[in-house]
Chains A and B, each alone.
Chain A
Amino acid sequence: MTTRKSSTVYSPVFTDGSEHRIPTFKLLKQDGSLYKNGRAPDLDKAEARRIYHAMVTTRVLDERMLAAQRQGRLSFYMQCTGEEAAVIGSTAALSDTDMIMAQYREQGALAYRGFTIDEFMNQLFGNDRDYGKGRQMPVHYGSDRLHYMTISSPLATQISQATGYAYGQKMAGDGACTIVYFGEGAASEGDFHAGLNMAAVHRVPAIFMCRNNGYAISTPVVEQYAGDGIAPRGSGYGMDTIRVDGNDILAVYQATEAARRLAVEDNRPVLIEAMTYRLAAHSSSDDPSGYRSKDEEATWHSKDPILRMKYWLEEREWWSESEEKALQESLRREVLDTMKQAQKRPPPPLESLITDVYDEVPPALDEQFDRLKAHIRRHPDAYPKSAAHVQGGE
């Protein structure tokens, strides 16, 4: 039981918390040099290059797939441009077997863990190789192999689930933790409150990673909250909390590394608020020019987290312009080639409509399916994706 010393006053004294502004942790300047008092985390060359590779992969994938959506090849897409350091830096500071529960703008975490371009494409096109069997919209990735829980659209639902998942990890005693990502908009949902409060009360090994990128679709943060961002809420729940520069790969990495120690060794959940900016549109269905200025976007383009890391790598002679050029070219080629292959693959079989609702198909659903198949046989032209699956007599 925690007891806190309470002081007493004898007239009404109110507080809005403004005397406790939470500072922002930074290590890396935009030119790739360190702040005077900062000490870089213990990142070796191989690990630093793995992180950078994932950041560039994510950027290239996002650029090409948005273009593909604009060409009408893909129904929907969401970029994570500008937030690569916040996501990949935090994932990199974890064990590769820690659970990731994401919102939808965290494809960088998957790229870091080794989700292949082929795996991304299969989900985006919902073809017969998509793990999700073509059931969900593009960008709703999942991978049990990489400990990445399948994304769902309802915002913040994964936050309270992460608390439960981490409780199970604590009970199993396997020294693992859960990181859960969400935007500052999602933090307004009730599940944020539920998940953080329960995590603090039940002391679960979880890291709550908020990507505060300034906007929830068109809604700027001034219309999302009146307090000092998301971070003070963590302290309100009695949770260890830190705010980092989300475009600073070294600060994000170091903060998450320390958070993981607190979570796993002491069962102290941690809230990290990563301050960043959503450089792209919310999604392929959104045009940000209606609600924010070009000047504002330009300011944040000059804080590009990938460039910042690149300068740091180059200063240490861990990366060169020729390597950069080769990587960009090979990734672009791989994305394009793989996209063509994925697009050509057949859709999931018709049976995928009715399997996995339950562990077994209930008889009533089986009956509905039989009727559907008979109907498709009578109107094969109306169902080009599945007519071939039901050929043969009734």
Chain B
Amino acid sequence: MAEMNMLQAINNALDTAMAANERVLCFGEDVGVFGGVFRATSNLQQKYGRDRCFNTPLVEQGIVGFANGLAAQGSYPVAEIQFADYIFPAFDQIVNESAKFRYRSGNLFDVGGLTIRAPYGGGIAGGLYHSQSPEAYFAHTPGLNVVVPRNPHQAKGLLLGAINDPNPTLFFEPKRLYRASTGEVPDGEYQLPLGKAEVLKEGTDVTVLGWGAQMEVIDKAVEMTEKDGISCEVIDLRSILPWDRETVAASVLKTGRLVITHEAPMTGGFAGEIAAAIQERCFLYLESPITRVTGLDTPFPLVLEKEHLPNHLKVYEAIRESVEF
């Protein structure tokens, strides 16, 4: 075990995967000798050579198209998109190609080895194009895994899980926590399961659900509500697609209340899907409306970022309203 921040854990996961399997390759913009604009791929080219860790031309649709081809050939490409905001040029390759490769070929071909990493989320004065949380766009696409870690231990275990999972995986990294989140990370290989939520804290009054950087916000809000005598059950969803309805539904059947929070805008956000599915499963057990605490339905602003984001105060108020309904 070693103390690492999230970037070090990601770098360590890539190192572990590349050491274990020579068909694992890392590439993207500035990923090579420079080690990535956030340093997630530091020293990998030096260690594994220019053939296995390299810069690509600046073309996102090309990076993902190239990765699709490599994965179809039997390699394990780990492609980096520099910011999740710039994944949209590759939307066609991801949605029409990666996600449908196995299905459309009747399983003759697949891109199961594919992993796409991208830093996501706000809180770093990134304005419109260095702050977005695009997970809901991809949640509407059968065939993909969408995964978001919340801390260094998760980042390494889930990234290794993603690389080894036999399906294409989008791995969104909360860049606000890249250096802010630190913790103990095992040295060797370990994998955390995809598609499984994690109950971080048991409670009886209300279920509070989120993922990625929002878990830190939830922690602060829950600390405040507990002082008010409200018992919160906290769940990290971890996988947006496929998502773990069983764990969430079991919790809501117990607490009778659900608050979901994410940074992305409300309309069409993934909280909507969760709310609908849980309402179907837990209708007779719900004691208050399912509440969503999200970003506003606006592009991501620069100066009024704090007002836009669903911070701990907004989550705290939502929890109280849910319990007092």
Interface residues of A (CB under 8 A from B): 99, 101, 130-133, 135-136, 140, 142-144, 149-150, 152, 154, 157, 159-169, 171-172, 178, 190-191, 193-195, 197-198, 201-202, 352, 355-359, 362-365
Contacts and interface: CB of A to CB of B under 8 A. Distances in A.
Contacts of B102: 356-359
Contacts of A191: 61-62, 65, 93
A162 B69 contact: yes
B65 A165 contact: no
A161 B72 contact: yes
A168 B106 contact: no
B246 A132 contact: no
Closest 3 CB pairs of A and B: A160-B65, A164-B69, A194-B62
B167 to A, nearest CB: 5
Contact of B195 (A143, A164, A197, A362): A362
Nearest to B62: A194
A163 B65 contact: yes
A144 B109 contact: yes
B54 interface: yes
Interface residue SS majority, chain A: helix
Nearest to A358: B167
Nearest to A359: B166
B254 interface: no
A14 B67 CA distance: 37
B274 to A, nearest CB: 12
Contacts of A197: 57, 59, 62
Contacts of B112: 359
A130 B106 contact: yes
A150 B104 contact: yes
Contacts of B54: 202
Given A191-B65, A359-B112, 16 more contacts: A131-B106, A131-B108, A132-B105, A135-B103, A150-B104, A160-B64, A161-B66, A161-B72, A168-B73, A195-B65, A195-B66, A198-B56, A357-B142, A358-B167, A363-B242, A364-B245
16 contacts: A130-B106, A150-B109, A157-B96, A160-B64, A160-B93, A161-B68, A163-B66, A164-B70, A165-B69, A191-B62, A194-B66, A195-B65, A356-B103, A358-B167, A359-B102, A364-B242
B212 interface: no
Most chain A CB within a 10 A radius of its CB, from B62, B96, B101: B62
B299 interface: no
B7 to A, nearest CB: 26
A131 B142 CA distance: 20
B69 A193 contact: no
B97 interface: yes
Contact of B74 (A159, A168, A178, A202): A168
Nearest to B166: A359
B198 interface: no
Contacts of B104: 132, 135-136, 140, 150, 152
Interface in B236-261: 242, 245-246
B69 A167 contact: yes
Interface string B297-324: 0000000000000000000000000000
Contacts of B166: 359
A142 B62 contact: no
Nearest to B89: A190
B105 A163 contact: no
A352 B103 CA distance: 9
Given A154-B97, A194-B62, A362-B242, A165 B108 contact: no
Contacts of A355: 107
B295 interface: no
Contact of A190 (B61, B68, B107): B61
Nearest to B145: A358
Nearest to B67: A164
Contacts of B68: 160-161, 164
A193 B59 contact: yes
A194 B59 contact: yes
